[in-house]
């Protein structure tokens, strides 16, 4: 296999100053797009003091750090398909599953990398960018690169079919039904023994090659961690003392939460799992998640250091993000797959060289990323396709807002999120069969469903109206897109 192959996604965007972007028409900005699987805003730059993420935090000091960035669906394949097409999911026909395929679900859409390629960019995909390696494979200048190109089907976590576990001890904890190994592992190995270390090294090699090619580039780097299993080199586990890791302060189900809101069962499919109520499990799982985040932070640091060493930082837009959130014991949930804030809110960090940056409180969503990058790089957007809105105004001034709500969907549930409220409804036909409303001004942890609150009755009614309007708009858009098919 050629060492020059390409691929995928987490979320660091480095942007040049607006003066540079708009002032030199002959220059095209590069894009370094970093995406990490299942990485929630559990980073030092988001105020989490217990976690060790110095490299992302260093970039964040010069970047716009979005405090209210949301995926449009809390599952990997669908979230990525939506992001890279700029099109919302639409239940049940488009972008709904973990293995969603953008080419199949929205066949006429021009993907983000292909849009850049058509406008003179050399585009490369390393690691996990699109969920499926074959999805929009022709969008890239080179075939998407992964350590194991065939190793990401439904058997991807079958015990050591693809070298996910490195300790012999892990073979003692194979799940009898799924044949998966333990949910975590600390192995005394080098960073490149695990897959993500090799993704970083491939990305570094590509940066060197791209500099010599002297062409504008869009380089996507997709890390697998901190996705389960929580396997990372021992030195990253050693950064933490397990007994001092703070567990969730609200490991109970919120008051009046509708039955449609459930926990993901994903972690139960791994060996060594006991019960989420066991404190020993909770500490080991959170320790493993933290170790994986620190491992990925170190890989991102290597890539960013090489970008700087090559003299490319001043001409490169860098984006760092997670594809959705992840519960770490809050409300007794472990995983994604619901419409609670911990499952839908994600880190999004965008750096523009010479720009001030700052913490941005305005709401943005993943469908906004495509039009933003096009505007920054002066790439024309595909007509009639994109459903998001460019957040360049926020990059120029972190106090600005571009929209009131983000719109999130999950298995027949429809959720709008503002800076203050999160409101969701579940429909059967046109009838509402489940509701939840959280007022995060008084309940930031989402511990009590306020759907029956008399004092919020007008706000609740307005929020539901906005959900129905948005849902109708998406249905009309889907009908329009279908009419374009042969």
pLDDT, position 4? 36
pLDDT, position 150? 86
pLDDT digits (tens, 9 = 90+) for 220-247: 999 999 999 999 999 999 999 999 999 9
pLDDT, position 481? 66
Buried-exposed string 327-348: b where 16+ CB fall within 10 A, e elsewhere: bbbbbebbbbbbbbbbbbbbbb
Query: What is the C-alpha separation between 120 and 137, in angstroms, rounded?
Result: 18
Among candidate residues 59, 68, 46, 40, the one with its CA nearest the CA of residue 440: 68
CA 348 centroid distance within chain: 8
Assigned token pair, 237: 């586990």
Contacts of 460 (CB under 8 A, 6+ apart): 423, 435, 437, 450, 451, 453
Q: What are phi and psi of 427, to 5 degrees?
A: -115, 145
The segments of the chain whose pLDDT lies below 50 read: 1-25
Contacts of 264 (CB under 8 A, 6+ apart): 327, 333, 334, 335, 336, 337, 338
Beta bridge partners of 66: 348, 360
pLDDT, position 483? 55
Contact between residue 34 and residue 127 where contact means Cβ atoms under 8 Å apart: no
Among candidate residues 277, 258, 259, the one with its CA nearest the CA of residue 268: 277
Contact between residue 408 and residue 415 where contact means Cβ atoms under 8 Å apart: yes
CA 227 centroid distance within chain: 11
3-state SS string for the chain: CCCCCECCCECEEECCCHHHHHHCCCCCCEEEEEEECCCCCCCHHHCCCCCCCHHHHHHHCCEEEEEEEECCCCCHHHHHHHHHHCCCCECCCECCCCCCCHHHHCCCCCCHHHHHHCCCCEEEEEECCCCCCCCCHHHCCCCEECCCCCCCCCCCCECCCCCCCCCHHHHHHCCCCCCECECEEEECCCHHHCHHHHHHHHHHHHHHHHHHHCCCEEEEEEECCCCCCEEEEHHHHCCCCHHHCCCCCCCCCCECCCCCCCCCCHHHHCECCCCCCCHHHHHHHHHHHHHHHHHHHHHHHHHHHHHHHCCCHHHEEEEEEECCCCEECHHHCEECCCCCHHHHECCEEEECCCCCCEEEEEEEEHHHHHHHHHHHHCCCCCCCCCCCCCCHHHHHCCCCCCCCCEEEEECCEEEEECCCEEEEEEEECCEEEEEEEEECCCCCCCCECCCCCCCCHHHHHHHHHHHHHHHHHHHHHHHHHHHCCC
């Amino acid at each position: 296999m050629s060492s020059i192959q390409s691929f995928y996604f987490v979320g660091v965007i480095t942007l040049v100053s607006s003066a540079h972007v708009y002032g030199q028409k002959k220059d095209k900005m590069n894009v370094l797009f970093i995406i990490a699987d299942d990485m929630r805003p559990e980073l030092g730059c988001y105020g989490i003091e217990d976690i060790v993420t110095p490299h992302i935090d260093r970039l964040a000091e010069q970047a716009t750090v979005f405090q209210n960035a949301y995926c449009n669906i809390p599952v990997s394949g669908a979230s990525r398909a939506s992001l890279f097409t700029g099109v919302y999911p639409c239940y049940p026909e488009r972008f709904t599953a973990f293995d969603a395929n953008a080419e199949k679900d929205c066949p006429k859409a021009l993907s983000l990398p292909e849009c850049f390629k058509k406008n003179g960019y050399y585009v490369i995909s390393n690691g996990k960018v699109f969920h499926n390696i074959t999805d929009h494979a022709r969008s890239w200048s080179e075939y998407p690169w992964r350590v194991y190109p065939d190793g990401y089907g439904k058997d991807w976590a079958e015990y050591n079919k693809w070298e996910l576990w490195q300790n012999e001890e892990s073979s003692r904890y194979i799940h009898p039904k799924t044949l998966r190994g333990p949910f975590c592992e600390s192995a005394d190995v080098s960073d490149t023994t695990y897959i993500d270390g090799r993704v970083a090294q491939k990305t570094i090699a590509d940066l060197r090659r791209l500099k010599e090619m002297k062409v504008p580039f869009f380089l996507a780097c997709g890390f697998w961690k901190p996705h389960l299993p929580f396997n990372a080199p021992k030195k990253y586990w050693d950064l933490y003392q397990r007994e001092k890791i703070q567990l969730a302060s609200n490991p109970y189900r919120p008051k009046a939460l509708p039955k449609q809101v459930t926990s993901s069962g994903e972690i139960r499919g791994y060996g060594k799992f006991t019960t989420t109520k066991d404190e020993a499990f909770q500490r080991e799982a959170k320790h493993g998640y933290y170790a994986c985040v620190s491992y990925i932070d170190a890989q991102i640091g290597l890539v960013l250091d090489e970008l700087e060493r090559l003299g490319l930082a001043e001409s490169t837009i860098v984006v760092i993000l997670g594809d959705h959130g992840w519960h770490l014991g809050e409300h007794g949930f472990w995983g994604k797959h619901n419409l609670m804030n911990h499952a839908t809110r994600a880190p999004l960090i965008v750096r523009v060289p010479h720009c001030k940056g700052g913490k941005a409180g305005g709401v943005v969503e993943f469908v906004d990323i495509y039009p933003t990058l096009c505007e920054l790089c002066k790439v024309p957007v595909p007509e009639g396709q994109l459903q998001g809105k460019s957040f360049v105004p926020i990059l120029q001034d972190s106090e600005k807002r571009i929209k009131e709500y983000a719109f999130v969907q999950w298995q027949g549930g429809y959720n709008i999120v503002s800076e203050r409220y999160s409101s969701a409804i579940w429909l059967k036909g046109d009838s509402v069969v489940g509701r939840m409303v959280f007022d995060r001004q008084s309940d930031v942890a989402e511990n009590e469903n306020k759907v029956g609150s008399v004092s919020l009755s007008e706000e609740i009614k307005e929020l539901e109206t906005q959900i129905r309007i948005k849902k109708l708009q998406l249905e009309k858009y889907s009908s329009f897109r279908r009419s374009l098919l042969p």
